[in-house]
Copies of this chain bind each other. A is one copy, B any other.
């Protein structure tokens, strides 16, 4: 049975990936695509890669129309704007996957500290499932609203959760060092993301201030059952897509890399989209896929857990469709393999 869909904020890179995946989905029909800025254009004017796949006009966001015409909404709005709209949409009975950070953090105070705005829908915080099906599948299946995870957190949380749950590593002194391709910045006109500024260059950014830090810490804390203050540092590297995350953790006594690999293998044995691999983890192997590749190494007195995803797919649009499939009762991998 077909699900009628609206994509809100349809002009970004993530929305493009989402629309490509949905175009392959046998039961998904996108009938509304909105844009604050590009009204009167068609979706193909903004995303010429979609030519021949499908085309609809871009329209202004209208909550009532959406409520009456669609069953499901993917919200690609910025934080705060998104919760503001999602709150209204929920009243109309549609199901929603929210790409913004608005429903990822459980604690209003943490949200308001890191995002610097008042949360427009405080009551819901803490009761919205986090859209990592590998960890929260049952909650997602039953939910009307799911918070799609951040790209960096996806790469880190999938790597660390089983190890924390099994107490194979300490919850203290976890360092998450990540590298992202430039699409992570979205369709951003900031000079830093011009080709000649980003190409052939690497830099750290947001050191100590990146908003994905509390998100990683929150889910590591849940997994460990102890407060984790994860130290997170992202870097920009010259490629289109991909995140590579290197986690420096302290093994519990006697725990080897091989023990940690086994624990990851056990945890993800039934998962279609998490691969614990013996060959080198590299972003090229997961590019344009919904996979997350993981491996563990020993280095001095630490374990080094490495993780690779496509930030636009498993880190955004792919996870969103995985959640959509669960929420609508489709086979979880539909359109994702």
Task: State how many copies of this chain the complex holds.
Answer: 4
Residue A246 CB within 8 A of the other chain: yes
Residue A203 CB within 8 A of the other chain: yes
- Which residue of chain B has the shortest Cβ distance to A279 in the bound complex? B48
B-contacting 9-mer, from A65-73, A91-99, A204-212: A204-212
Residue A275 CB within 8 A of the other chain: yes
- Is the pair B179, A282 in contact by a Cβ cutoff of 8 Å? no
Interface size on A, residues (CB 8 A): 75
Least CB distance from A148 to B in Å reads: 20
- Is the pair B200, A285 in contact by a Cβ cutoff of 8 Å? no
Contacts of A175 in B (CB 8 A): 175, 248, 302
Q: Assuming A283-B201, A306-B204, is B235 touching A238 (CB within 8 A)?
A: no
Chain A, residues 242-266, CB within 8 Å of chain B (1/0): the string is 1010101000000000000000000
Q: Which of B237, B275, B284 contacts A237 (CB 8 A)?
A: B237
- Is the pair B187, A189 in contact by a Cβ cutoff of 8 Å? no
- Is the pair B337, A299 in contact by a Cβ cutoff of 8 Å? no
Q: Assuming A175-B248, A248-B231, is B48 touching A242 (CB within 8 A)?
A: no
- Is the pair B208, A297 in contact by a Cβ cutoff of 8 Å? yes
Q: 8 Å CB contacts to B: which residues of A277-321?
A: 277, 279-289, 291, 293, 297-302, 304, 306, 308
Contacts of A277 in B (CB 8 A): 48, 51
